[in-house]
Chain A
Amino acid sequence: MRRLMLGNQAVARGCFEAGVKVATAYPGTPSTEITEYISNYNEIYCEWAPNEKVALEVAIGASIYGKRAICSMKHVGLNVAADPLFTVSYTGVNAGLLIAVADDPGMHSSQNEQDTRNIAKAAKVPVLEPADSQECIDFVKKGFEISEKYDTPVILRLTTRVSHSQSVVKEGIREEVDYEYKKDIQKYVMMPAMARKRHEVVEKRLNDLREFAEGTDLNRIEEGKTNLAFIAAGIAYQYVKEAYPDAWVLKLGMVWPLPKKLIMDFCSRFEKVYIVEELDPFLEENIKAMGIANIVGKEVFKLTGEYSPSFIKSAVEKIYTEIPYSIAQQIPPRLPVLCPGCPHRGIFYTLSKIKDIIITGDIGCYTLGALSPFNAMDTCVCMGASVGMAHGISKASNNGKKAVAVIGDSTFVHSGITGIIDAVYNKSDIIVLILGNSTTGMTGHQDHPATGYTIRGEETYKLDLLNLCKTIGCSVVEEINPYNINENLNKINELLKVPGVKVLIAKAPCRLHKRYKYTTLKRYVDKTKCKNCKLCLSLGCPALSLKDIPVIDQNLCLGCGMCESVCRFGAINSVKE
């Protein structure tokens, strides 16, 4: 049956059909749905891991035991998982091991724009790059075959426009694949004597894969009717085909290692060949290194952001589409905001009232605390960085400038814990606010070890952050209610004077999560009491807006009551529905 399928959903489908037994991930846009869709297949064991490094280690274990395994992540997650990645390249696999990595050209929801192909090349593992949902299914299956035949982990490189596009697929049936586990310390114990031998194996394997790349139908030449010629992979291939349906195209499904003979042969037929690839000049540099000179790449195509068919046209022919309707005046930007009722709002409102502190932020919904109206965040680098950076700032300033770290509960478990241990060990004087909303909010409500539920919603042991922080030696560990703005303001001001690593766990579940029920006492503005001071608007709540005086949209209000607590005139009241 023909049906529309999201790229990530198709990767999950491919895993099902390929007989995958274990799937692990830490959620990260644009890769998250792969594992979510896999959790619908009961044949596959599936989990959220605390971070990508652990996730990959789980998948490696499953593979060595003889079961096909997939580990999914976004590009920045691959940095976290780089440690096991570089060595599993040496050990190789038993049953197939696929690492799906979704890059985000254009940074729709990422802190940088890195290109996974560079890490894959450095780790000496092959990379397949599908161009639509059908190829997502096909390449997953092909990836497992390559993984087993060449005894290597395989990276499936996706980009946002493949992961988050729906296109037409045909579904197949599941094939069961099992391998015996055999103890083999020469292969799986990477101490120097064994690893030296394995490095030889890895180099030979790359050569074998180069041979494979020449003959595989993953790479194909599509004949054209003009003299225009392109080399492209993934989504860039689609853009080329749309811009120039009559051009010659060498479509690469395997982007590392590259088929040298095929590329040389293709390029020798044309006066010049355009290489179209988003992000880094990866193909371009490697093709130039083959001694091929008649190629055009980044001198006309940009290094940053997403491409599109018209971008390719304008780069090749220097022609620009005329825009029939455009607006001279500036349109108000619509930045993402914390949801109505969001507990993080209380914390950022509170922090915005404290002068002379540096607030180190982290990755999650609460990164929005950096934006107006709070402007209550100074930094945001990567998962878990808030804690380590606050510690660094406190040491660098000799505690002259106070540092406060904010980090979500999911992110804290991901990689905040080690930062805290460091800060305690090295006698830091910082405050860490763990914003415990009992979910992974930004990526769409995934569970984590501190929620007490697995990916399939089964109850499990719930990591107790309060006792954990006490155990690792924090001087003060307390739970606070983020909605109690005035109380928290006093508490934080007080703790700024106390030495040691102080942890406040602001505990209030995400208002949008179905699991957590709030009693809703919606708020309304009493016109007779409102002095129009607009203080309530500084909460940045989407439910509040200014007509003649502030008004509350009853469709949006979730009744958190924060506006009531900041109003000095008692003009905001609750009314039971």
Chain B
Amino acid sequence: MKESVNILIVGVGGQGNILFSKILGDVFLNTGYDVKISEVHGMAQRGGSVVTYVKAGRKVFSPLIDKAEADYIIAFEKLEALRWIEFLKKEGFLIYSDYEIPPIGVITGMYEYPDVDKIVKQLGVKFCKIDILSLLSKAGNPRVQNTVMLGVFSKFMEIEENFFKKAIENNVRSEFVEINLRAFEIGRSVDLGEVRI
């Protein structure tokens, strides 16, 4: 793996953002890195936009990732991918779920939900879009989107698969370990096609 890696995890409150970052943090810790994770709480829990920062490296000082500093943005919701896009490095990579959760302004007709796919292509960002609904129906549980996404992301890291599985076991309540491991496998089996790291 590289000397250091900055990962931004974005989504909507309740999507399992924090659990995802905890598992990822454990993976880096167990592969010998210094790790810092920062999360935003409070009002964001109530359906607001949520961001978590995961940083790994030889020595990590700031827990924050600034604009133009993220190697990866992992978005659990399409619109949130756009909201945080300024944080991506020029050579960074966007991995986003095509799950749509319209914000209240869209529901009430004040705003329009933008055409995210089109904008992402226009920007020329390197990206990987995950058709999450079909993967979730394979998993049989809509609440494991985060672990499916972890499975996808694991393919971008030169870290042995077992580190991820172990970290899932350590961080997920015992009754949910099995379904999460299955979700991870489903994510990991996604064909990244032309996508290159």
- Interface residue ranges, A against B (CB under 8 Å): 2-4, 29-30, 108-110, 132, 160-161, 164-168, 235, 238-239, 241-242, 245, 306, 308-311, 321-327, 329-339, 365, 368, 371-373, 442-444, 534, 537-538, 540, 542, 544-546, 555
Contact = CB atoms under 8 A, between A and B. Distances in A.
B195 interface: no
A44 B79 CA distance: 45
B185 interface: no
Which of B42, B105, B114, B123 neighbours the largest number of chain A CB atoms within 10 Å of its CB? B42
Given A241-B61, A334-B12, A310 B69 contact: yes
Interface string B29-56: 1000011111111111111110000000
A161 B38 contact: yes
Contacts of B104: 334-335, 337, 371-373, 540, 542
A537 B46 contact: no
Given A167-B63, A321-B66, A368 B46 contact: yes
A331 B62 contact: no
B83 interface: yes
Given A3-B29, A4-B25, A331-B82, A239 B62 contact: yes
A331 B119 CA distance: 11
Contacts of B109: 534, 537, 546
B35 A339 contact: no
Interface in B81-103: 82-83, 85-86, 88-90, 101-103
User: For chain A, what secondary structure do more than half of its interface residues adopt (helix, strand, loop), or is it mixed?
Assistant: loop
Contacts of B102: 545
B145 to A, nearest CB: 11
Contacts of A329: 114, 119
B34 A168 contact: yes
Given A308-B64, A332-B112, A546-B107, 12 more contacts: A168-B34, A242-B61, A308-B66, A311-B66, A321-B67, A331-B79, A332-B103, A334-B79, A336-B48, A542-B47, A542-B101, A545-B107
B106 interface: yes
B140 interface: no
Contacts of B83: 331, 334
30 contacts: A2-B29, A4-B35, A109-B42, A161-B63, A165-B38, A167-B63, A168-B34, A238-B62, A239-B62, A242-B61, A306-B64, A309-B66, A321-B68, A323-B68, A325-B123, A327-B82, A327-B85, A331-B83, A332-B106, A332-B113, A333-B111, A336-B44, A336-B48, A337-B47, A338-B46, A365-B46, A373-B104, A537-B108, A542-B104, A546-B107
B61, B103, B104, B114 — most chain A CB neighbours (10 Å): B104
Given A168-B34, A542-B47, A335 B103 contact: yes
Contacts of B16: none
Contacts, number: 182
Nearest to A543: B107
Contacts of A337: 46-48, 104
B179 interface: no
A109 B41 contact: yes
Q: Which of A109, A166, A235, A442 has the most CB of B within 10 A?
A: A166
Nearest to B88: A325
Given A3-B29, A324-B88, A325-B123, A168 B35 contact: yes
A327 B123 contact: yes
A306 to B, nearest CB: 8
Interface residues of B, number: 59
Nearest to A32: B41
Contact of B63 (A165, A368, A442, A545): A165
Nearest to B48: A336
Interface centre among A160, A444, A545 (most CB of B within 10 A): A545
A372 B46 CA distance: 15
Contact of A372 (B48, B61, B105): B105
Nearest to A322: B68
Given A166-B36, A321-B67, A372-B110, A108 B42 contact: yes
B32 to A, nearest CB: 10
Contacts of B110: 332, 372
A326 B85 contact: yes
Shortest Cβ-Cβ A-B pairs, 3 listed? A109-B42, A332-B111, A336-B48
B125 interface: yes
Given A332-B112, A332-B113, A4 B26 contact: yes
Contact of A331 (B37, B40, B89, B114): B114
